[in-house]
Amino acid sequence: MNSIRTPKRRLITSALPYANGPIHIGHIAGAYLPADIYVRYLRSMCEDVVWVCGSDEHGAAITLRAKKDGTTPQEIVDKYHVEMQEAFSGLDISFDHYSRTSSKKHHKVAQEFFLQLLKNDSFEVKTQDQYFDEEADQFLADRYITGTCPKCNASDAYGDQCEKCGATLSPTDLINPKSTLSGAKPILKPTTLWYLPMGRHEDWLRDYIENGMLDGIPHHNAKAWKSHVVGQCKSWIDGGLQSRAMTRDLKWGVPVPIEGAEGKVLYVWLDAPIGYITATMEWAEKNGQDWKDWWQNSDTDLLHFIGKDNIVFHCLIFPILLKQHGGYILPSQVPANEFMNLEGAKISTSRNWAVWVSEYLESFPEGSDTMRYVLASLMPEQRDSEFTWLDYKDRINNELADVLGNFVNRIVVLTRKYYNGSVPKTPAPSSLNNVDKALIESLSKAPAKIGDLISRHRFREAQLEAMNVARLGNKYLTEEEPWKVQKTNPERVKTIMYLACQVVGNLGIVLEPFLPRTAEKLRVSFGIPQAKWSDTSPNIVNPDTILGDLPILFTKIETETIEAEIAKLGSKDDASDNENNSNIMPIKDSTTFDNFTAMDLRVATVTECIPIKKTKKLLQLTVDTGLDTRTVVSGIAEHFSPEDVIGRKVVLLANLAPRNIRGVESQGMILMASTSDGGLRFITPEEGVNSGDVIS
């Protein structure tokens, strides 16, 4: 267990998503699905639990996005606040309350928090030279400034962090600093900032992280924390904690509530975690509760679900702020996940290398449970993992459809056929053979086993154990063959079918945290009123229950379907640029000369072009390579119409293995330039370069 005691209530938070872009599956697998599985389980255990989240609506990424789109920060956050909630609810992410940090209420809560910190002498006030962009009339911090990393020499480090080596930086650390607003070389100009002297807190933080001790008293079970979380914190503390500025000279954010601090706002990483408190206050108000029970009572366990990039903020900075303020509890567990990659590369918003939840749900309107299942199977709990569409297809077809769906369907069909859909009577104990008894024993033990894994945040294994209940039933049915036995011993079949129905009934509860829609269908059909963990039992389904209608649970996924999804990757989408304000793609890892010469790049001429039916993004091109005429499918239909393309000379990767895309065999790939403004352009050869000319 995570706690050193049994808490009376649990407050769960998930990282506040930045309201500057849509939600992708990497976000879901990192901070939202794990929390949802955990919270659904706690609810079904009738525990006192509240789960809050909300949009993080401040910070440089949002103002930069607004500037790029020619709109206001408010319009950006209003748009994504709505869109993100739709994405979450589309995947049945069941927050108790979803708030936002641009609300008046939150500004007030964050300002009062800051004033209390000020009163408690938590800051060092320093007037220092900071970089200033004269053209944009603004001080440059965080993502407003880039330059060369002093640690690893990466050319595109930000003012707060180098994404290449992970180093935490100050703008003044950067070599050759440049404003991301104007591109100008900034000047130095004095300004006053409020710093959090983190070095003062090293000793107690070390005891808290390494030993789970707080003020000399056992606080939580440090051994239950993930090793990568503890490891990251230790390396921060070992490296010496630097003072960190908690204010910014910006217009967008929570204004610093001090006279003479006009034009200054709270650092986004000061105000965002306080957003958890605001969200809880709003929830408590709506539900007639006292928010202080959740934040200021040592009987409460506080858990932060986050991705690994937020560990320092939740394990070091926020605990310092809470302790400095006084009266607040500190997190007893921060089960951070690592990252999920996609089809062999890092998920990248700016390159559209992502599976966007909203687009996914357009393609798969009934796909909430299936995506949840695949993401939980691949959850990056201890190390980075990778999502592929082929894996998505295989897991749905071979596991959900073949194991779970097939098992449930056989039970429903046979119960209808033999007993008009009515569950047989409870068999007499004397009629049970050893196989039946073994099934009953496994079924009795499964819920506790699954629950224990969920409590320890081992969601991949927990889901596997829940699916093993279906496997158990499937195996039982296959071995007992009721369809054969019915001819000779119909009494025996009643026992088999009774027990098999019990397996389905238990699945209706143990699958609830993972596959809530499927679990509900099973409960409704098998007459189980609610998802209550304590109701699991080998006699959960009452005899004589008339099974309700239950259509096929999972349809199999075709190869063409996932090929169409793969074809969407990498095609530039204008609504999806939020991680690189420069938009220039970083240089990829080095490759070998042999790898390069293995590629047959040559000039070709487009002779015909037609749209591919029922797709928005694909065009089917016929190209003349000088040697042959071939078909190429290209994901450029949102940028070009067929008449723009016919007659063009293009660069073709001619020896790419043929791929079937939406039923069309694509024999090669047209090379395109993704421009920094989000556009897509052809690479047009000079005059005199002809079809068949080789590029080397």
Interface segment toward Zn ion; rule CB under 5 A; list 143-151, 210-218, 238-246, 629-637: 143-151
- How many other CB atoms sit within 10 Å of the CB of residue 344? 8
The amino acid sitting at 279 is: A
302 is an interface residue for Zn ion by CB under 5 A: no
Nearer to Zn ion among residue 162 and residue 652 (C-beta): 162
618 is an interface residue for Zn ion by CB under 5 A: no
Quickly tell me which residue has 């989000």 as its tokens. 678
Rounded to a whole number of angstroms, the minimum distance from the CB of residue 163 to Zn ion is 8
Nearer to Zn ion among residue 151 and residue 475 (C-beta): 151
Query: Burial of 406 by CB count in 10 Å (0-12 exposed, 13-18 middle, 19+ buried)?
Result: middle
Give 49's strand partners. 10
4 is an interface residue for Zn ion by CB under 5 A: no
532 is an interface residue for Zn ion by CB under 5 A: no
The pattern of x and - marking residues 94 through 133 that bind Zn ion according to CB under 5 A reads: ----------------------------------------
Nearer to Zn ion among residue 570 and residue 586 (C-beta): 586
Rounded to a whole number of angstroms, the minimum distance from the CB of residue 580 to Zn ion is 15
Rounded to a whole number of angstroms, the minimum distance from the CB of residue 123 to Zn ion is 28
Task: Give the integer Cα–Cα distance in Å for 567 and 632.
Answer: 12
* 339 Cβ contact partners less than 8 Å away, ≥ 6 residues apart: 26, 30, 307, 308, 346, 347, 380, 384
* 236 Cβ contact partners less than 8 Å away, ≥ 6 residues apart: 312, 316
Site for Zn ion in 321-350 (CB under 5 A): none
Nearer to Zn ion among residue 165 and residue 187 (C-beta): 165
Let me know: does 4 contact 218? Beta carbons within 8 Å.
yes
Task: Give the integer Cα–Cα distance in Å for 261 and 525.
Answer: 63
When binding is defined by CB under 5 A, the residue of 164, 228, 234, 410 that contacts Zn ion is 164
Q: Which two tokens stand for residue 230?
A: 């503890």
174 is an interface residue for Zn ion by CB under 5 A: no
Nearer to Zn ion among residue 149 and residue 403 (C-beta): 149
162 is an interface residue for Zn ion by CB under 5 A: yes
149 is an interface residue for Zn ion by CB under 5 A: yes
Looking at beta carbons, which pairs linking 559-564 to residues 24 or more positions away fall under 8 Å? Answer: 559/393, 559/660, 560/660, 560/661, 560/662, 560/663, 561/363, 561/393, 562/389, 562/390, 562/392, 562/393, 563/389, 563/659, 563/660, 563/661, 563/662, 564/363, 564/615, 564/618, 564/661, 564/662
Rounded to a whole number of angstroms, the minimum distance from the CB of residue 241 to Zn ion is 19
Interface segment toward Zn ion; rule CB under 5 A; list 15-23, 50-58, 166-174, 597-605: 166-174
Q: Among 291, 301, 336, which residue's Cα sits nearest to residue 315?
A: 336
152 is an interface residue for Zn ion by CB under 5 A: yes
Rounded to a whole number of angstroms, the minimum distance from the CB of residue 148 to Zn ion is 9
Interface segment toward Zn ion; rule CB under 5 A; list 152-160, 183-191, 197-205, 331-339: 152-160
Q: Which two tokens stand for residue 522?
A: 């099973």
151 is an interface residue for Zn ion by CB under 5 A: yes
Determine the size of the site formed for Zn ion (CB under 5 A).
Answer: 8
165 is an interface residue for Zn ion by CB under 5 A: yes
Task: Give the integer Cα–Cα distance in Å for 187 and 109.
Answer: 35
Task: Give the integer Cα–Cα distance in Å for 241 and 525.
Answer: 57
Interface segment toward Zn ion; rule CB under 5 A; list 155-163, 507-515, 526-534, 544-552: 155-163
169 is an interface residue for Zn ion by CB under 5 A: no
Q: Give the binding site for Zn ion (CB under 5 A).
A: 149, 151-152, 154, 162, 164-165, 167
